């Protein structure tokens, strides 16, 4: 197996960081292909915790090459801080390559993200306020600044002055905010360009060469399928394609190069930000899962909304991504709960909906149809094989497989790399 894509199967924060880190042990290259520093992975290595937002977690292995590909939007200040943080902790970052075609998150994007959210009032999206949406908007509007532009002073000045003409007009006239100074931004981003220059290349060439050589290449998705701009709960979504197809465009490889796609799902569901969430819990069980699972955002620290596992969401994810299997994380968080619920369908008045609705307004009115299963009372954190799990935990896993139609290939029962039950070779 040469090219494997890992995607979030729910609304992000599924524990992809741990699964990717686990697989990165066998990978020759790890590629980020969408999103930006709205994402956040926490990886625990020998009791040392690493928080990463842009750099692929493969960087924590001494021989793995890492790529931030064209589909990512990069805030250069954040990336340089992250590189310094890794270097201070003894990590060699010279194995990282950044796409010349990746778009740059500019300070006006971050400011516009906040102003837009403020203006939406009770219709706000709950974005991470990292400027991600406005940066992708500029990419689509063809007024974005790409990493390559930072390396060419005349090009940078030209593109920046065109962009500022429009941004300053919006900032001052629509929002009464202060304009940005061309000279100040030009100097700052030229300096960022010089600092990033050793890492910049056309990464599509590098990734394709690696695949063609038979290297094991892991594509690390950020966010989750339900936040995909086309296939998620629009408009409560991010502005990129966290689903598997996004890997092809975002890394510059043909879809035929992808061998397998695995989805990562928590044993329950969480969501940060606004938008529909049919299995959301508003009771003590929700609070208990939030506290036990430390369900607070890596990037923003926001408490995550918590709910039961939703098989309707997972079936949608299996279809959109063509999943080969699922990795189920945080099963240990459910230890000691007397019963567990799984949504198997939704009900809208008298109608039963087996598939995930395609509009936010239908979603708002549905209620989940639950199947109730008995829980287990022994802690499972030390378990390393499926047959050593309590019978009810095994039944929970089997039932999920039946409901979503793909095998569960990996089960995570704790934060450390070792707290993992592997059922299948993933590469
Ligand atoms: P944005 O990506 O900052 O524009 O935010 C859009 C939506 O995606 C909001 O609901 C965010 O909370 C959500 N989002 C963005 N990144 C992540 C992530 O890494 N995990 C979970 N939710 C995210």
pLDDT recorded at residue 234 = 96
Task: Give the pLDDT score at 43.
Answer: 80
Q: pLDDT for 15-57, tens place per residue?
A: 998 899 889 989 999 999 999 999 988 887 778 888 899 999 8
Q: Show the CA angle centred on residue 326, arms to residues 35 and 272, nearest 5°.
A: 45
Q: 21, 28, 41, 138: which is the annotated catalytic residue? A: 41
CA distance 277 to 351: 19
Q: 260-266 and 3-8 as β-strands: parallel, antiparallel, unpaired?
A: parallel
CB 415 within 8 A of CB 44: yes
C-alpha of residue 35 to centroid of ligand 1, in Å: 9
Q: Which of 37, 117, 124, 227 to mutate to test the pocket of ligand 1 (most atoms within 8 A of CB)?
A: 227
Model confidence at 182: pLDDT above 80: yes
pTM: 0.96
Give the residues across from 353 on adjacent strands: 346
Neighbours of 327 (CB within 10 A): 27
- Ligand 1 atom with the smallest distance to the CA of 275 is 10
Q: Where are the domains of the chain?
A: 3-92+202-422, 103-198
Nearest to 100 by CA among 240, 253, 202: 202
Give residue 411's pLDDT.
97
Note the pLDDT of residue 17. Answer: 87
Q: Is 34 in the pocket of ligand 1 (CB under 6 A)?
A: no
Which DSSP letter does residue 199 get?
G
Shortest-distance Cα residue to atom 10 of ligand 1 = 273
19 lines ligand 1 (CB under 6 A): no
Residues 6+ apart with CB under 8 A from 358: none
Q: CB neighbours of 9 closer than 8 A, spacing ≥ 6?
A: 224, 225, 263, 264, 265, 313, 314, 317, 318, 321, 323, 326
pLDDT tens-digit readout, 184-221: 999 999 999 999 999 999 999 999 999 999 999 999 99
- Which two structure tokens, joined as six digits, stand for 80? 């340089």
Whole-number Å distance, alpha carbon 223 to ligand 1 midpoint, is 7
Ligand 1 site, residue 182, Cβ cutoff 6 A:
no
Q: How far is the CA of 277 from the centre of ligand 1 (A)?
A: 14
**If we measure between CA atoms, which residue out of 355, 119, 358, 116 comes closest to residue 239?**
116
Of the candidates 71, 34, 33, 38, the residue with the CA atom closest to the CA atom of residue 53: 38
DSSP 3-state of 397: helix
Check residue 310 and give its pLDDT.
Answer: 98
Q: How far is the CA of 16 from the centre of ligand 1 (A)?
A: 15
Please give the backbone phi and psi of residue 385, each rounded to the nearest 5 degrees, phi first: -140, 155
| Sequence-ordered list of residues with C-beta below 8 angstroms from that of 63, at least 6 positions apart, any chain | 28, 95
Summary count for the chain: helices (H), strands (E): 12, 20
Q: Is 227 in the pocket of ligand 1 (CB under 6 A)?
A: yes
What does the pLDDT look like over 406-419, one tens digit per residue? 999 999 999 888 89
CA of 301 to the centre of ligand 1 (A): 12
Give pLDDT, residue 57.
87
Whether residue 127 has its Cβ less than 6 Å from ligand 1: yes
Residue 264 has pLDDT above 90, yes or no: yes
- In short, whether 6's Cβ falls inside 6 Å of ligand 1 is no
Does residue 57 line the site of ligand 1, with CB under 6 A?
A: no
Q: For ligand 1, atom 9, which residue shows the shortest CA distance?
A: 127
Is 41 a known active-site residue? yes
Residue 222 alpha carbon, nearest atom of ligand 1:
19
**Residue 176 CB partners (closer than 8 Å, separation 6+):** none
Other beta carbons within 10 angstroms of residue 5's beta carbon come to: 28
Best CA proximity match to 349, nearest among 367, 333, 332, 329: 367
Give the ligand 1 atom nearest the CA of 299: 19
The average pLDDT across 99-121 equals: 96
The reported pLDDT for the residue numbered 161 is: 97
Ligand 1 within 6 A of 13 CB?
yes
- The answer, yes or no, to whether any atom of ligand 1 lies below 6 A from the CB of 38, is yes
C-alpha 393: how far from chain center: 27
Contact between 384 and 325 (Cβ < 8 Å): no
Q: Which CATH number fits domain 103-198: 3.40.50.2000, 1.10.300.10, 3.40.50.1460, 3.40.50.170?
A: 1.10.300.10
Give me the pLDDT at residue 315, please. Answer: 98
Q: What are the contacts of 380-385 at 24+ separation with CB within 8 A?
A: 380/331, 380/332, 380/335, 380/413, 381/332, 381/335, 381/413, 381/414, 381/419, 382/413, 382/419, 383/413, 383/421, 384/418, 384/420, 384/421, 385/421
Q: What is the pLDDT of residues 345-375, one digit of tens each?
A: 999 999 999 999 998 889 989 999 999 999 9
Question: What are the pLDDT digits (tens) for 269-293?
Answer: 999 989 999 999 999 999 999 999 9
Q: How far is the CA of 411 from the centre of ligand 1 (A)?
A: 25
d(CA 199, CA 210): 17
Ligand 1 binding pocket includes 126 (Cβ within 6 Å): yes
User: Is 128's C-beta closer than 6 angstroms to any atom of ligand 1?
Assistant: yes
Q: Which atom of ligand 1 is nearest to the CA of 35?
A: 2
Give the tens place of pLDDT for each residue, 292-341.
999 998 778 899 999 999 999 999 999 999 999 999 999 999 999 999 99
**Percentage of the chain with pLDDT > 90?**
88
Mean pLDDT to the nearest integer, 95-120: 97
Top CATH class of 3-92+202-422 equals: alpha beta
The rounded mean pLDDT for the chain is 95
Residue nearest to atom 15 of ligand 1 (CA): 38
pLDDT in tens, 218-253: 999 999 999 999 999 999 999 999 999 999 999 999
Q: What is the pLDDT of residues 143-167, one digit of tens each?
A: 999 999 999 999 999 999 999 999 9
Rounded to a whole number, what is the distance in angstroms from the first to the last CA of the chain?
5
Q: Fold match between 3-92+202-422 and 103-198?
A: no
Helix (H, G, I), strand (E, B) or coil at 138: helix
Query: What pLDDT shows up at residue 419?
Result: 94
238 lines ligand 1 (CB under 6 A): yes
The reported pLDDT for the residue numbered 424 is 80
How many CA atoms within 13 Å lie on the side-chain side of 301? 0
Contacts of 319 (CB under 8 A, 6+ apart): none
Q: What is the pLDDT of residue 40?
A: 86
Best probe residue, ligand 1, of 10, 236, 272, 329 (max atoms within 8 Å of C-beta): 272
- Candidates 11, 220, 223, 280: which one to mutate for ligand 1, based on the most atoms within 8 Å of Cβ? 223
Atom of ligand 1 at shortest range from CA of 300? 12
């Amino acid at each position: 197996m040469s090219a494997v894509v890992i995607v979030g199967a729910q609304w992000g924060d599924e524990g992809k960081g741990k699964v990717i880190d686990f697989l990165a042990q066998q990978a020759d290259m790890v590629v980020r292909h969408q999103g930006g520093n709205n994402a956040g992975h926490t990886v625990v290595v020998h009791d040392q915790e690493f928080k990463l937002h842009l750099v692929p977690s493969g960087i924590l292995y001494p021989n793995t090459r890492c790529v931030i590909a064209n589909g990512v939007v990069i805030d250069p200040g954040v990336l340089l801080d992250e590189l310094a943080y890794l270097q201070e902790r003894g990590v060699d970052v010279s194995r990282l390559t950044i796409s010349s075609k990746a778009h740059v998150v500019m300070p006006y994007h971050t400011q516009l993200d906040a102003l837009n959210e403020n203006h939406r009032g009770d219709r706000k999206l709950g974005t991470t306020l990292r400027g991600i949406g406005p940066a992708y908007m500029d990419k689509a509007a063809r007024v974005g600044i790409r990493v390559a532009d930072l390396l060419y002073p005349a090009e940078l000045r030209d593109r920046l002055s065109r962009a500022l003409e429009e941004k300053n007009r919006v900032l001052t006239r629509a929002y009464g905010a202060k304009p940005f100074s061309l000279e100040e931004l030009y100097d700052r981003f030229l300096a960022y360009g010089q600092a990033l220059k050793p890492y910049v290349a056309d990464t599509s060439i590098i990734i394709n060469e690696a695949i063609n050589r038979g290297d094991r290449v892991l594509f690390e998705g950020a966010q989750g399928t339900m936040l995909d701009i086309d296939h998620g709960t629009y408009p409560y979504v991010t502005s990129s394609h966290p689903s598997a197809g996004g890997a092809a465009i975002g890394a510059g490889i043909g879809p035929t190069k992808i061998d397998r796609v695995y989805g990562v799902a928590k044993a329950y569901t969480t969501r940060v930000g606004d938008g529909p969430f049919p299995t959301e819990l508003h009771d003590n069980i929700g609070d208990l899962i939030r506290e036990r699972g430390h369900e607070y955002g890596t990037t923003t620290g926001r408490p995550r909304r918590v709910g039961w596992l939703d098989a309707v969401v997972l079936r949608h994810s299996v279809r959109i991504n063509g999943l080969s299997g699922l990795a189920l994380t945080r099963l240990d968080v459910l230890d000691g709960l007397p019963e567990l619920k799984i949504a198997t369908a939704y009900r809208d008045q008298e109608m039963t909906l087996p598939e995930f609705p395609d509009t936010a307004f239908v979603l708002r009115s549905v209620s989940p149809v639950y199947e109730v299963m008995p829980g287990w009372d022994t802690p499972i954190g030390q378990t390393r094989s499926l047959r050593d799990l309590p019978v009810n935990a095994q039944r929970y896993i089997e039932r999920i497989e039946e409901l979503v139609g793909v095998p569960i290939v990996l089960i995570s029962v704790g934060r450390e790399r070792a707290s993992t039950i592997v059922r299948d070779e993933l590469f």
